Structure 1
Amino acid sequence: MSSYRRPSIDSPVFRDADGQVIEYGKRWEDSPPTDTYSVDTHLERFAPLHTVADALVAHLAETYDVRITEGPDVVGDLLRPSRPFVRAVRIEPNDPRCAGLTLVYTDYPGVFVHAGLLHDFFYPMCGCDACDSTWEAEADELERHVFAVVGGRYRESVTEGREPWIEFTLANPDGTSRGGRGVTDLPAVRVEAARPFLRALSDGWASWPRVAVES
């Protein structure tokens, strides 16, 4: 059994029209130029996210008591239809108290993560020139997210009332992220199926059990 280590990846180099190296993540000292919004150039810079996702899947399969399902059918775990994809892997802990993960590798390139029952997350969330994100920053977030779920630091809830709200919390040593959306933003059948299950998880999703080590 091994601890996870991000694989060594040579960062691709991209140049602008003048031949200058584009330093993604450091391009804008102030606000981005208006003409960089909704413009996606050199999307291939996010291709290393697929390599990172491969390493995560391999590590989780080796280290934890899980079932692995791979193929186009698991893309249906996403709450909304995915853009064209190149690989899709579902990782289900054998303990039902633990949140499962589905990783869908898109042709963007990027990785969609379905975690638990009612939340999808995207890496990158936005790859436009204005956002100026790097694959390294997105990989950091992807790894933090996956290991928060694996470590039992992930909660989902559906608040009741006149305007029900779906929320999540991801806790990590360097901080906690939260988010939410209205119930009407998601397929009603998925929400109704999740409600009783999430109510029973008063302390949130449990940490994943590791594979038993033979003595």
Structure 2
Amino acid sequence: MRPAIDERTFRDADGHVIDYGNRWDGSPPEDTYSVDTHPERFAPLHLVAEALIAHLRATYDVEIDEGAETAADLLSPAFHDVVRAARIRPNDPACAALTLVFTSYPGVMMHAGLLHDFHYPVCGCDACDSNWQAEADQLEQQVFAIVSGNYRETVERGLRPWVDFAFTYPDGASSGRSRTQDLPAERLRAAKRVLRDLPEGWAAWPRATSAS
């Protein structure tokens, strides 16, 4: 399903080919932090995200809202200009919607469910040494966990509760958390009402009739 990508070669200041993802044997040099030499290496993420939207549209019972205004689903505004955004809403309220936001960086951001945003890449600095392939793998893995009903959001109880997420994959799992005070209060209140009825997490997306 991933589209064919024309690989580009990137070189350092001395003309040597940069093997992104395999640059550092141990800790990266101090002068590579906060330096982003070739952000354009992430451009294929836009093609991958476009293919995901097309696949979700064709395969599942969803409505898709296209337009830069859907980027407002993000809990925090994108750091870079939004060049495209699409909200994919399953026609079953027990399923998590997701919004894919394409930025001019170039990168992709995803708002998943009600209370979580995910960034591809999280950081593109030379020290982090990420490449588009690794970021695309994670984007696809997380999208398909959501689609298959293997995504969960919870809000803990207490004075200063945590907001948690968890993905379950065929070969493992990943999770994370944030403080409730970092979230818009009204969105948090609305999410609590919905998530109380989803103790087992979000449901799998129903397939489109034509794709059954």
Q: So what's the TM-score if we normalise by structure 2?
A: 0.97
Structure 1 regions of 5+ residues with no counterpart? none
Pick the aligned partner of 1:71 from 57, 67, 70: 67
Moved runs in structure 1, 4+ residues, more than 2 A?
none
SS in 2 for 1:210: coil
Q: Secondary structure at the match of 2:210?
A: coil
Query: 1: CA distance between counterparts of 2:4 and 2:86?
Result: 22
User: Is 2:178 the counterpart of 1:181?
Assistant: yes
Deviation sequence 1:175-196 (CA, Å, 0-9, x none) = 1100001100111111011001
Q: Say which of 9, 16, 30 aligns to 2:12.
A: 16
Q: Report SS of the residue matched to 2:199.
A: coil
Aligned partner of 2:49: which letter? Answer: A
One-letter amino acid of the counterpart of residue 121, structure 2:
P
Name the counterpart of 1:25: 21
Unaligned runs of 5+ in 2: none
Contact persistence 2:68–2:83 (CA under 8 A): no
Deviation at 1:214, TM superposition (A): 8.2
Q: Does the residue aligned with 1:96 lie in a helix, a strand or coil?
A: coil
Q: Which residue, 187, 191, 201 being the options, matches 2:188?
A: 191
Aligned length: 211
Q: For residue 43 of structure 1, what is the aligned residue in structure 2?
A: 39
What amino acid sits opposite 2:114 in the alignment?
L
Preserved CA contact (<8 Å) 2:40 2:106: yes
Give the share of equivalent positions with the same residue, in percent. 63
- Paired with 2:118 and 2:211, the residues of 1 have a C-alpha distance of 36
How far 1:213 moved relative to its partner? 3.2
Secondary structure of the corresponding residue to residue 88 of structure 1: strand
Query: What TM-score, normalized by structure 1, do the two folds share?
Result: 0.96
Following the alignment from structure 1 to structure 2, what is the Cα–Cα distance between the partners of residues 10 and 28?
25
